[in-house]
């Protein structure tokens, strides 16, 4: 699943899950008085370009981000409880406020989400319970007698608190996209990425993490907590050394390694696999898509070489770590002392926001049903679907007019585009939550929700793919391309200003949500999407000549991003971010084409002294206006396939001829690239 924006503060995923739902940050609303207000036109509403955000002392060709949003950037302070602020953050704040209004309504007090939120906010009851609920789970780990039993426990963590050296879950079969099979890969780390253990840049975070482990063991009454923390840190460092880097993990060609259960067990000895599968409630599988195959083999050997006491300490810590958000304040604050070094924030978020995020994470689609009824009018869905149709037509024209793509490849690309399903606002069929029991205990609610959601996910294994199921909640401020499902999903949460307004100036809509649509469409044809055919099967349907030409242009594009220094000594990884960067560029080009087509051959009106193309590009740039902390930026370039917001503005536009024309960008301007050196991917 490739999303439009990945959160750097994503909630902890279940051990046997493929992806966690993003949880974005937030900022303050833009001053409506500074918006372009246009009346007298049925398609133009009261949101648009924030004229006051611009810094007109900056030449557009020198720094378009500052030209579009420089005054806002200079005047904006990042609140102490946030890693960043910006348009995405702003809208996520709005969506969270909307959900809070829904969840805390007296009419919803007796609903599952009303009761779950109330339990989260009942701090007195949480303090009274103390660590007693957690200690029951900790004592299960402490009672493990041998490594066979431990392997069984690792397998069982798919539906409970705890960790495992391996992670997986049902997803589309890479050969037969009509069926779900088990995807299986590396796991076991507590910090965000292997680089946090191995690179000198993250010494501060390592020290904070080890101190947090020690505090956790002390709270649990574990003997010699400092020594225990050292052992866990050393073990996870070994795991990191054996784990694949992120840029390899996003390459579908590398992670598509089918095996049967028997073949995997023979390939990766060192663990009692029968016990592991038993713990995971998994019988023999004819087909498992093994991802980081060499890492899994090495991790199995590491398991065999590691003593049981070390493994139990590692597991004990992770049970407590995953449960911390449902425990007394002392434990929550202890974890924050570590996680604040990842994001750079200095203050914990208000409890109500964490409570809403918990409800969204545990029963988000149930909340989403009420959210859509309250906040997503039918006209928004209708006009969004029209926009998507226009963007798909524009992408088809781009494919037909592409001079590096051969006729056969073009035909296959058009076929994939035509078969790409589109889902807007909310699922066609709502998920049933009647089996989820919610009571007064926050900890017990968390245990119940973890098990309920894990079992729901695992129900798909060995069954036909249901392409109508969503991987995001309707209230999520994001969008995604379903990869092997060949579908696009646009939740209701993102279909609000500044991204979309059913009555807005078309230039603004196309520059904002239009680019999001184009971005998601083009993921079907980026450096990984091009390896997936119209049915969703992993198959190289490009001719070798077309692939070579594509890779040549992609390298030109990637070389530009490799020079972007987001923090001292921290540069964008063009391999990790290639797919998202290509999607950003294609999104701009396709959305601009669609906007021009929507004018029906007429000149765009000049509004607020701005031409249609200028409003389009300014809308795009202001969607990405952002200000982030240095630690957060370092985390992003290490873990996130998306480039930081500043470079999602500058990077694509430097390769768009129409941007040069719209703002009279000339040789000598800092961001000028000669026409011959611009990337011509789409």
Query: Which pLDDT belongs to residue 503?
Result: 84
Of 326, 357, 387, the residue at which a domain comes to its end is 326
Is the residue at 576 inside a domain? yes
Q: Check pLDDT > 80 for residue 5.
A: no
Query: Which pLDDT belongs to residue 44?
Result: 35
Are residues 492 and 566 part of one domain? Answer: yes
Q: How far lies 579's CA from each of 518, 585, 622, 641, in Å?
A: 13, 10, 22, 8
Of 326, 352, 387, the residue at which a domain comes to its end is 326
Of 294, 326, 358, the residue at which a domain comes to its end is 326
pLDDT tens string 374-387: 999 999 999 999 99
Structurally, the chain folds into a number of domains equal to: 2
Q: Check pLDDT > 60 for residue 670.
A: yes
Query: Which pLDDT belongs to residue 1?
Result: 65
Is the residue at 25 inside a domain? no
pLDDT-wise least confident of 4-18, 161-175, 203-217, 312-326: 4-18
Query: Which pLDDT belongs to residue 21?
Result: 25
Determine the structural domain holding residue 486 and report its residue range.
2-11+50-77+377-429+468-677
Residue 79, Cα to own-chain centre: how many angstroms? 22
pLDDT-wise least confident of 24-28, 185-189, 660-664: 24-28
Are residues 509 and 611 part of one domain? Answer: yes
Region of residue 486 (phi > 0: left; psi between -120 and 50: alpha; otherwise: beta) = left
Q: Check pLDDT > 50 for residue 27.
A: no
Q: Where residue 136 falls among pLDDT bands split at 50, 70, 90?
A: very high
Are residues 412 and 319 part of one domain? Answer: no
Query: Which pLDDT belongs to residue 31?
Result: 27
Q: Where residue 540 falls among pLDDT bands split at 50, 70, 90?
A: confident
Is the residue at 114 inside a domain? no
pLDDT tens string 288-347: 999 999 999 999 999 999 999 999 999 999 999 999 999 999 999 999 999 999 999 999
| DSSP codes joined into one string, 395-453 | HHHHHHT-SSS-HHHHHHHHHHHHH-EEEEES-SSPPP-TT----S-HHHHHHHHHHHH
Are residues 392 and 302 part of one domain? Answer: no
Give the contacts of 667 (CB within 8 A, at least 6 positions apart): 674
Is the residue at 355 inside a domain? no
Are residues 307 and 392 part of one domain? Answer: no
User: Do residues 49 and 622 lie in contact, with contact meaning Cβ atoms separated by under 8 Å?
Assistant: yes
Query: Which pLDDT belongs to residue 37?
Result: 30
User: Do residues 401 and 538 lie in contact, with contact meaning Cβ atoms separated by under 8 Å?
Assistant: no
Range 248-252 average pLDDT? 95
Phi, psi of 85, deg, nearest 5 = -135, 155
Query: Which pLDDT belongs to residue 46?
Result: 42
Query: Which pLDDT belongs to residue 608?
Result: 87
Is the residue at 651 inside a domain? yes
Angle between helices 442-458 and 132-142 (to 10 degrees): 50
User: Do residues 53 and 34 lie in contact, with contact meaning Cβ atoms separated by under 8 Å?
Assistant: yes
Are residues 393 and 267 part of one domain? Answer: no
- CA–CA separation, 95 and 25 (whole Å): 11
Query: Which pLDDT belongs to residue 268?
Result: 98
Q: Which run of H or of E encompasses 669? A: none
pLDDT tens string 223-247: 999 999 999 999 999 999 999 999 9
Is the residue at 159 inside a domain? yes
- Residues β-bridged to residue 170: 182
Query: Which pLDDT belongs to residue 28?
Result: 24
Residue 38, Cα to own-chain centre: how many angstroms? 35
Q: Check pLDDT > 50 for residue 29.
A: no
Is the residue at 509 inside a domain? yes
Give the contacts of 520 (CB within 8 A, at least 6 positions apart): 2, 4, 479, 480, 481, 488, 490, 583, 587
Are residues 208 and 73 part of one domain? Answer: no
Are residues 394 and 283 part of one domain? Answer: no
For the stretch 118-136, what's the b/e string if a residue is b when 16 or more beta carbons lie within 10 angstroms of its beta carbon? bbbeeeeebeebebebbee
Q: Where residue 139 falls among pLDDT bands split at 50, 70, 90?
A: very high
CATH at 301: 1.10.1380.10
Angle between helices 407-419 and 378-400 (to 10 degrees): 170
User: Do residues 231 and 325 lie in contact, with contact meaning Cβ atoms separated by under 8 Å?
Assistant: no
The overall average pLDDT reported for the chain is: 92
Q: Check pLDDT > 50 for residue 553.
A: yes
CATH at 485: 3.40.390.10
Are residues 611 and 500 part of one domain? Answer: yes
Are residues 56 and 184 part of one domain? Answer: no
What's the pTM value of the predicted model, to 2 decimals?
Answer: 0.92
333, 309, 347, 317: which is closest to 210 by C-alpha? 317
Residue with more model confidence, 27 or 377: 377
Query: Which pLDDT belongs to residue 48?
Result: 79
Is the residue at 304 inside a domain? yes
Range 128-154 average pLDDT? 98
What is the number of other CB atoms lying within 10 angstroms of the CB of residue 400?
13
Query: Which pLDDT belongs to residue 682?
Result: 85
Q: Check pLDDT > 80 for residue 634.
A: yes
Q: Where residue 4 falls among pLDDT bands split at 50, 70, 90?
A: low
- Residues β-bridged to residue 488: 422, 481
Are residues 182 and 61 part of one domain? Answer: no
Are residues 407 and 317 part of one domain? Answer: no
Query: Could you tell me what percent of the chain has a pLDDT over 90?
Result: 90
């Amino acid at each position: 699943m490739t999303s439009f924006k990945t959160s750097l503060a994503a909630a902890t995923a279940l051990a046997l899950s493929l992806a966690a739902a993003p949880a974005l940050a937030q900022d303050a609303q833009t001053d409506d008085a500074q918006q372009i207000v246009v009346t007298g036109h049925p398609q133009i509403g009261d949101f648009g370009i924030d004229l006051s955000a611009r810094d007109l002392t900056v030449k557009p060709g020198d720094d378009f981000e500052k030209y579009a949003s420089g005054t806002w950037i200079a005047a904006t302070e990042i609140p102490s409880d946030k890693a960043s602020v910006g348009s995405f953050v702003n809208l996520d704040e709005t969506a969270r406020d909307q959900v809070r209004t829904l969840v805390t309504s007296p009419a919803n007090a007796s609903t599952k989400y009303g009761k779950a939120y109330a339990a989260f906010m009942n701090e007195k009851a949480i303090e009274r319970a103390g660590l007693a609920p957690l200690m029951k789970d900790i004592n299960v780990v402490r009672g493990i007698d041998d490594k066979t039993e431990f392997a069984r426990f690792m397998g069982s963590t798919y539906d409970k608190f705890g960790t495992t050296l391996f992670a997986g879950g049902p997803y589309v079969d890479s050969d037969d996209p009509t069926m779900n099979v088990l995807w299986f890969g590396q796991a076991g780390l507590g910090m965000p990425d292997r680089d946090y253990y191995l690179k000198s840049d993250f010494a501060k975070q390592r020290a904070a993490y080890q101190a947090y482990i020690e505090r956790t063991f002390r709270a649990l009454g574990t003997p010699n907590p400092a020594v225990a923390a050292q052992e866990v840190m050393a073990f996870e460092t070994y795991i990191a050394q054996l784990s694949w880097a992120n840029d390899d993990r996003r390459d579908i060609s590398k992670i598509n390694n089918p095996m049967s259960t028997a073949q995997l067990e023979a390939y990766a000895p060192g663990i009692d696999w029968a016990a592991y599968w038993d713990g995971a409630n998994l019988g023999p599988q004819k087909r498992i898509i093994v991802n980081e195959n060499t890492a899994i083999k090495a991790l199995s050997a590491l398991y065999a070489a590691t003593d049981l006491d070390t493994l139990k300490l590692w597991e004990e810590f992770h049970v407590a770590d995953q449960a911390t958000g449902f425990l007394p304040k002392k434990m929550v604050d202890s974890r924050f002392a570590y996680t604040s070094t990842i994001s750079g924030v200095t203050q914990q978020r208000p409890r109500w926001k964490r409570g809403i995020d918990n409800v969204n994470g545990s029963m988000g689609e149930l909340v989403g049903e009420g959210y859509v009824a309250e906040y997503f009018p039918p006209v928004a869905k209708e006009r969004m679907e029209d926009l998507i149709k226009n963007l798909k037509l524009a992408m088809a024209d781009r494919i037909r007019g592409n001079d590096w793509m051969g006729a056969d490849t073009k035909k296959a690309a058009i076929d994939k585009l035509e078969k790409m399903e589109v889902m807007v606002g909310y699922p066609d069929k709502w998920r049933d939550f009647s089996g989820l029991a919610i009571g007064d205990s926050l900890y017990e609610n968390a245990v119940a929700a973890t098990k309920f959601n894990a079992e729901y996910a695992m129900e798909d294994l060995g069954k036909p793919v249901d392409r109508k199921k969503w991987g995001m909640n309707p209230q999520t401020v994001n969008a995604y391309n379903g990869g092997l499902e060949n579908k696009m999903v646009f939740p209701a949460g993102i279909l609000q200003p500044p991204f979309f307004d059913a009555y807005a100036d078309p230039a603004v809509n196309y520059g904002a949500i239009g680019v999001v649509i184009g971005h998601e469409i083009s993921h079907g044809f980026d450096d990984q999407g091009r390896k997936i055919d119209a049915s969703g099967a992993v198959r190289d349907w490009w001719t070798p000549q077309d692939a070579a030409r594509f890779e040549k242009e992609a390298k030109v594009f990637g070389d530009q991003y490799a020079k972007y220094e987001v923090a001292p000594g921290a540069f964008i990884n063009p391999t990790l971010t290639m797919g998202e960067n290509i999607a950003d560029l294609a999104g701009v080009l396709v959305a601009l084409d669609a906007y021009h087509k929507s004018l029906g051959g007429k000149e765009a009106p000049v509004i607020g002294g701005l031409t249609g193309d200028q409003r389009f590009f300014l809308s795009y740039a202001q969607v990405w206006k952002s200000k982030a902390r240095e630690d957060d930026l370092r985390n992003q370039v290490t873990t996130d396939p998306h480039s930081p917001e500043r470079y999602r503005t500058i990077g694509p536009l430097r390769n768009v001829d129409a941007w040069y024309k719209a703002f009279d960008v000339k040789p000598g301007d800092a961001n000028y690239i000669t026409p011959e050196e611009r990337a011509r991917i789409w």
